[in-house]
Amino acid sequence: MSSVFDNSVHSGFQVAAASVNSTSPTFQQTYAAVSGLAGLSWIEKLWASYYTWIGNDLFATGLLFFTLHEVMYFGRCLPWFIIDRIPYFNRWKIQDTKMPSNREQWECLKSVLTSHFLVEAFPIWFFHPLCQKIGISHDVPFPSLATMAWQIAMFFVLEDAWHYWTHRAMHYGSLYKMIHKQHHRYAAPFGLTAEYAHPVEVMVLGFGTVGIPIVFVLLTRNLHLFTVCVWIVGRLWQAVDAHSGYEFPWSLHHFLPFWAGAEHHDEHHHHFIGNYASSFRFWDYVLQTEAGVPAKQSRESKMRGAAEGKAKKNI
Ligand SMILES: [Zn+2]
Ligand SMILES: [Zn+2]
């Protein structure tokens, strides 16, 4: 049988889990047996029960990731779908004259579902053998909250850098025409459009989300599958929110000025140029690729000032 119990911590309970498994117990019976373990939180007990009850780690991880992706993506899109239908919220819509029609949303939904089932589902089922090979642990107990927090924060920063450069590259000539044009079909995005993209783009940008943790664990041998789950949910929610099309007075970037949010990415869809980063604003700020009329005017006045200064020096 499979075991998710870290031998050094819960070796005594491995026997209990094995005896529960041998009589084909229900999930409740498995959870009751695992609940006897000392020092585990409710989520760790749920995690251990899930893997013990299924008894096949490859299937358990595949099912977990596929379900997590579908539930968290569409679950996060649903509030935006409802808000689009309530006129009261229109005052906070960034491009307020461009409400997505039912037909647009339906077309987008069909395309995203096709991509989920035909492009993304396949590698998900091979994730567990990869985890075992490279050392992503799925044991209980989980790492400390502090460890999970710094690893997830680092993934956000690294993914943002990957996204900035690959996204910017996809705006060049034939790369744009062949790959990225599909994502720009909607000049005024809505939540569902976050993953509306060409399969090559899904894979290239997906490397920032999945490939970076893989490279990290190859270098450090220090990563837990639960941390990867939390990171993927965070990244999915960031992407859906960035495409929501709404800018509220309570939007996160008002409190964290370096956070990108919907206002940043909406400008990218509106103007097609600039604001290439995903989660943060610093790449576009430092490299002067901010989108929109005010950013363009400020860039031009800085360049004029620099040119005038240079001309004065030369006199
Ligand atoms: Zn773009
Ligand atoms: Zn977009």
The CA 193 to ligand 2 mean position distance, Å, reads 7
pLDDT at 1: 45
Q: Which residues contact 267 (CB under 8 A, 6 or more apart)?
A: 274, 275, 291, 292
The CA 275 to ligand 1 mean position distance, Å, reads 8
The CA 289 to ligand 1 mean position distance, Å, reads 12
Please name which ligand lies nearest the alpha carbon of 170.
1
pLDDT at 241: 97
The CA 183 to ligand 2 mean position distance, Å, reads 6
pLDDT at 22: 57
Please name which ligand lies nearest the alpha carbon of 171.
1
The CA 230 to ligand 1 mean position distance, Å, reads 26
Nearest to 94 by CA among 286, 291, 315, 312: 291
Please name which ligand lies nearest the alpha carbon of 276.
1
Sequence letter at residue 65: F
pLDDT at 84: 92
Give the integer Cα–Cα distance in Å for 283 and 38.
Answer: 46
The CA 127 to ligand 2 mean position distance, Å, reads 26
The CA 154 to ligand 2 mean position distance, Å, reads 22
Give the integer Cα–Cα distance in Å for 148 and 156.
Answer: 12
The CA 290 to ligand 1 mean position distance, Å, reads 13
Task: Identify the segments of the chain with pLDDT beneath 70.
Answer: 1-23, 315
Sequence letter at residue 76: R
The CA 121 to ligand 2 mean position distance, Å, reads 22
Please name which ligand lies nearest the alpha carbon of 108.
2
pLDDT at 67: 96
Residues in the chain: 315
The CA 39 to ligand 2 mean position distance, Å, reads 43
The CA 109 to ligand 1 mean position distance, Å, reads 20
pLDDT at 5: 66
Please name which ligand lies nearest the alpha carbon of 271.
1
The CA 82 to ligand 1 mean position distance, Å, reads 26
What is the model's pTM?
Answer: 0.88
Q: How far is CA 176 from the centre of its chain?
A: 22
pLDDT at 229: 98
Please name which ligand lies nearest the alpha carbon of 193.
2
